[in-house]
Amino acid sequence: MGTEENKELIRKWIAFADGGFPGPFDEFIATDYLGHLGEVQMDLAALERAERAFARSFPDMQYAIEDLVAENDRVALRVISGGTHRGEFEGIAPTGQRVEFTGIVIYRIAAGRIAESWAELDFLRLMRQLRSGGM
């Protein structure tokens, strides 16, 4: 796949996320996927559990792509995420608060699927908003 096809895969992945992850992940994610979120590593099953749990906590979460840059098998994404806290998250009962946070993810694409990712998400900002009553 070329860089434009790789970027299109990530656009489709973000649209899938915007919809609350309504179907199987295998269209987007390789079976031998390895994700890196800070010090945490996750495989496909762990990614799916984490993404679906997050979508239950923030069912209207939307991801605005600010930058999408590709070179070779890598795609870098800068995103602003915003949604409403409607389900328990990290031990915090639903607050009904609107939250917003940013993230940068670098994806490695292989055979038309996301094979690996490295994410830096501003969860500190998210948690501050939940604890202080919103944005």
H-run or E-run covering 99: strand 98-110
What is the per-residue pLDDT for 1?
Answer: 76
Q: Is the pLDDT of residue 96 over 80?
A: yes
pLDDT digits (tens, 9 = 90+) for 39-50: 999 999 999 999
- Give the DSSP H or E segment for 106: strand 98-110
Give the CATH fold of the 3-132 domain: Nuclear Transport Factor 2; Chain: A, (3.10.450)
- Decide: 36 and 118 in contact? Cβ < 8 Å: yes
Please name which of 43, 17, 14 lies closest in space to residue 30, comparing C-alpha atoms: 43
Do 26 and 70 form a contact (C-beta atoms < 8 A)?
no
Report residue 114 as tokens.
Answer: 């996301």
β 29-37/113-121 pair status: parallel
113-132 mean pLDDT: 95
